[in-house]
Structure 1
Amino acid sequence: MTSKIMEYFRGTQNKPGERALVQKLDFFILTFCCLMYFLNYLDRSNLANAYVSGMKEDLHFKGNQLNQINTVFTVGYTIGQVPCNIALYYIKPRIFFPTTMVIWAGLTMATAGVHNPQGIMAIRFFQAIAEASTFVGTHYILGSWYTEKELGKRSGIFTASGLAGTMIGGFIQTGIHSSLNGARGLAGWRWLFIVDGIITLPVAIYGFFFFPNTPSTTTAPYLSAEERALAVSRVPEVDERTPISWSFIKRCFASWYWYGFVMLWIIAGETESFSSNSLLALYMKAHPTHKYTVSQLNNYPTGVPAVGIVSTLSWATLTDFMGGKRYLVGYWIGITGIITSAMILAPGSTTAVHFAAYYWAGSVYACQATFFAWANDVLRHEEDSLRAVVIASMNMGSNAVNAWWSIIFYSANLAPKFTRGMWAMIACSIALAVWTTGMLYMTRRDEKGRKVGNEETDKNSEVIPEKV
C-alpha cells in the first residue's frame, strides 16, 4: 500500500519525456487557471463582504435586494455558459480567457462608483457573462491535456483556488476597511472593488503570453515539437466536429450524458447553497441576540471555504488514487446535507452548533472538482464538442435553477434560520444519493460495452496465418 501511495504522488507518467511535459503543463496551465479562478471567486464573494461592511447602509438596500442582485448575476452567468465554451472552438483560449478577465476587471472597478442597488444589478449582469467560461472552460481545458489518472488532483487544485478566493476575500475586506476606509472620500467597501479590479489585470497579461491553448492547437514556445506530439498522444483520439450544427444538437440531446450530468450538477449545485449563498455571513448579520463587528462578519465565515479547500483536495486526490471512483463524493454530500440541516433545524440548538453545521457543510464543495472530473472521465472517449457542451450545460443548468432557488429558500430576509432552505437541503441530499446511484449504473454499463467492443476489434484485427 505504501509503495502504491508513493507511486501515485510521484506521478503516473511512463513515456519518455512525459513527466517533464506534465510539469510544464502544471506550471503554465494551473498557475494561470488557478489565479483566474481565485480572482473570479474573490470578486463574487466580495459582494457579500461589501454588503456587511457598509454597502447595505450606504446604498439603502431593502428586503431581498441582495438576493435579486445575485439572481441577476446568475442569469447572466447562465446565459454565457454554453456560448463561451463554444467560443473556445473559434477563439484561441490564450486570447479568449485573458480578454474576458480584462472586461470583468473593468466592470469590478466600475462597481465602486455605484449609487444604488440597481446600478450593481446592471454591472453584475454583464460581469457574469464575462466570467461565464472561467469554471467550465477551465474544466474543458484540463480534460483536454490531462489523463484520467491525473485529472482529479488538478481539478481539485483548480477548484480549491476559487475557494481560497472566497476565504481570503474576507481578510482582504477587513484590511481594506481598516486601512482605506475614508481615503479620498471613498468608503472601504468601494476600495474593495477597485483593488479587486487592479490585481486582476496582471494575471490577464500573463495569460495572453503564456497560456498554451489545447494540445492540437498549441504554439507555446516552451513546448518542443516532440512534447506537442506527446501531448496529443496522451488523450484518446476522437472525432472533431463543429459544435454549431443541427446534427450535433440532435446527437447531444439523444445521448444520456447530457441529461445525466446536467441533472447531477443541478442537484449537487443546490447542496452547495449553504456556502455559495454566504448563509453564515447572513446568519451572523441577522442574529437576534449577538451583534458582530465588521471584522467578525468578514473573518468568521472564512472557515467555510477553508473546510471546502481541505475537502476538495482530499476527495480529488482520494478518488484519483482509487481509480476514479468520483461517485463516492455524491454519497458523502448526501450524508452531510441531511445531518447539517438537521443540526440547524433542531429545537434549542445553540449558536455554536449552527456554526459547526455551516463549517461542516463547507465540505460539500468537494463535488465541484470530482463531478466535473467524472464528466471529463466518462466523455473523454466521445467527440470533443460534446464534452465541451455537456460540461458547460452542467453549470448552466445549475445556475438556471439557482437563479430562483436562492430567492425562494435562502433570501436574506429569511435569516437567521432559513427553515425553508434547510428542508430543501434535506430533499436535495436524498435526491443526490439516488441520482448518483443511477449515474454509477449508466457509466459502468458504458464501460462494459466499450471493453467488449475493444476486445471484438482486437480479435477481428488479428492476422490469420496462411496455410502452407
Structure 2
Amino acid sequence: MYFTNYLDRSNVSNAYVSGMKEELNMFGTQFNKINTIFTCGYIVGMIPNNLMLQWVSPRIWFPSMQIIWGTLTFCTAAVTRVEQIYAIRFFQGMAESSTFVGTHYILGSWYKPGELGKRSGIFTSSGLIGTLFSGVLQAAVYKHLNGVSGRSGWRWLFIIDGVITMPIALYGFLIFPDVPATTKAFYLNEEERLLSSDRLEKGKDITHERPTWNLLKRVLGRWRWYACSLLFAISGETESFGSNNLMGQWLKAIDGYSIEQVDYYPSGMTAFAIVSTLVCATWTDSTRTQARWPVLIYMSICCIIASICILVWSSPTGLKFFAYYLAGASYAGQATTFAWANQICADDDQERGVVLASMNMWNNVINAWWPLVFYPATDAPKFTKGMWAMIGVSIATLGVTWLLWYLERREKRQIAQSVESLTVEDKNVDEKTPHD
C-alpha cells in the first residue's frame, strides 16, 4: 500500500517535469499549490483515520481507502485544468493519510521495541521504492507511450499507477492481519494468535475499546504528545529535498538534460535514502537500549553538508549531484522517529495511536505552507532560501532530539524510583507482619 502511496505522490512531481506543466498551462507556484492542497487533505484525514482503526477492522479500512485514492488517480489522467487537480489531490490526501501513521500503529501492536526499527525501516523503504520506481516508470512511459491513443505520457503514468494500485487493495482485504488481539488471519493458528498478543501485553495498557474523554486527559497531561509532535514537525522538513523534487526541478531549469534524464537522475537520491533507512533502522534495533537519536544526528549533518554544497553555486556540477544524493539521508530519520515514538508510548495503546497521528499531522501542517515560502518552483534552480531553511531545520532537529532524549531518560528514572519505593514499602510491611 505504501509503495503505491508514494508512487502516486512522486508521479505528480514527475508528471510536472514531463509535460504536464506545458499541457495544462501551469505557471508560477501552481505546482507548489497542488502539493499544499494535498497536504491540507492529508492533515484533515490524519487523526480521524487513525481513530477509525479503533472502530473498524484495519483489514477493511486500509484497502477501502486505497480503492478511493486509486480511483482518484485514474481521474487525474483525464484532467484538462489545474483546478481539477486541486480538487482531486485534496480528497486523495484524505484517503492516503490512513496509511503511514496507521501502519506505524499496527507495527507497534505486533513488535517489541527491539524489533520495531527494522520493521519500520522496511515499511518506510517501501514508500521510497515507490518514489524510485516512479522516476524509472515515468521515463519509460514517456519514451514508449507518449502520444499513444492520443494521450500524453504523463497521463499514461497515472493510468498505470491506478492499475498497479487496485489489485494491492484487493489483496489487503484477504491478507491483512489486523492487530494481535483481533486477528483472524487464516495463516495463523490459535497458538500463534495467543503468543502474538501475550508477548507484548506485559506492562502495557492494551485497550481495544472506543476512545473516551479520558484519552484526551492522558495525552495532554504527559510530555510525550508535545515532544514527539515537535520532533517530527521539524525533522520531517528535512525531506523537502525529495518531497519537492528539487533535483528534478534543478535539472529541468538548466540546459543540457533530456526529459528522460530529468526523470532518471533524481533516482540516485532515493536509492541512497533506501540504503540509509534500512541500515540505520536495523542498527538501532541492535543497540542495547534501542537508541534512535544517533540516526537523527546523522541525518541532520548530511542535510547541512548538502545545503552548503548547493548554496555555493559556483561549485562543480558533480558536487551538486553529490549534495542532492547525500540529501537522501533525510529519509533515514522517518522510520526511526516513529519507532522511537512507538517505544516511548508502548504502555498506552490508545495514546500511542494519537501521538503517531499527531506527529505526522503537525509535520504536514508546516508542510502545507513551507514549500510555498522556501521552495517555490520560481526559485529553481538555486533554491537559495530553501537551502538556508534546510540548515535551520537541521540544527533545530538536533536540539529537539536532545530534548526528547532527556525527557525519555527522566521518565525512565522516575518510573524506576517509583518501583524501588514500592518495593521498599512492601518489604517494610512484610517485616511488620507477624509470622506463624
Q: What is the TM-score of this pair, normalised by structure 1?
A: 0.89
* Residue of structure 1 in register with 2:305 after alignment: 339
Tell me if 1:52 matches 2:20: no
Question: C-alpha displacement at 1:456, in angstroms?
Answer: 4.4
- 2: distance between equivalents of 1:243 and 1:427? 41
Contact 1:303/1:359 (8 A) holds in 2:
yes
CA gap of 1:454–1:215, structure 2 versus 1, over 3 A, is farther
- 1: distance between equivalents of 2:81 and 2:316? 36
Question: C-alpha displacement at 1:240, in angstroms?
Answer: 2.0
Tell me if 1:358 matches 2:324: yes
Tell me if 1:402 matches 2:367: yes
Q: CA RMSD in A?
A: 1.6
What is the CA deviation profile of residues 227-286 of structure 1, one whole-angstrom value per residue up to 9, with x for unaligned ones? 111111121331527564333223212211111000000110111111111110011111
Candidates 181, 184, 197, aligned match of 1:232: 197
How many residue pairs get aligned? The number is 430
Q: Which amino acid aligns with 1:435?
A: V
Question: C-alpha displacement at 1:291, in angstroms?
Answer: 3.0
Contact 1:243/1:385 (8 A) holds in 2:
no
Q: Which amino acid aligns with 1:415?
A: A
Tell me if 1:88 matches 2:53: yes
CA gap of 1:358–1:241, structure 2 versus 1, over 3 A, is same
Contact 2:110/2:196 (8 A) holds in 1:
yes
CA gap of 1:454–1:234, structure 2 versus 1, over 3 A, is farther
Candidates 314, 323, 340, aligned match of 1:374: 340
Q: Which amino acid aligns with 1:146?
A: Y
Identity of aligned residues (%): 50
Tell me if 1:199 matches 2:199: no
Secondary structure of 2:369's counterpart equals helix
Candidates 452, 464, 467, aligned match of 2:417: 452
Secondary structure of 2:77's counterpart equals helix
What is the CA deviation profile of residues 206-228 of structure 1, one whole-angstrom value per residue up to 9, with x for unaligned ones? 11011111111111122122111
- 2: distance between equivalents of 1:87 and 1:280? 37
Candidates 218, 221, 230, aligned match of 1:263: 230
Contact 2:303/2:329 (8 A) holds in 1:
no
* Residue of structure 2 in register with 1:275 after alignment: 242
Q: What is the TM-score of this pair, normalised by structure 2?
A: 0.95
Tell me if 1:319 matches 2:287: no
- 2: distance between equivalents of 1:172 and 1:428? 32
Contact 1:341/1:357 (8 A) holds in 2:
yes
What is the CA deviation profile of residues 11-30 of structure 1, one whole-angstrom value per residue up to 9, with x for unaligned ones? xxxxxxxxxxxxxxxxxxxx
* Residue of structure 2 in register with 1:69 after alignment: 34
Candidates 142, 145, 150, aligned match of 1:177: 142
What is the CA deviation profile of residues 427-456 of structure 1, one whole-angstrom value per residue up to 9, with x for unaligned ones? 111111111111111001111222333444
- 1: distance between equivalents of 2:177 and 2:416? 33
Tell me if 1:419 matches 2:384: yes
Secondary structure of 1:113's counterpart equals coil
What is the CA deviation profile of residues 342-364 of structure 1, one whole-angstrom value per residue up to 9, with x for unaligned ones? 11112511222111111101011
Secondary structure of 1:141's counterpart equals helix
Candidates 128, 131, 138, aligned match of 2:93: 128
CA gap of 1:442–1:163, structure 2 versus 1, over 3 A, is same
- 1: distance between equivalents of 2:66 and 2:181? 24
Tell me if 1:467 matches 2:435: yes
Tell me if 1:430 matches 2:395: yes
- 2: distance between equivalents of 1:357 and 1:254? 42
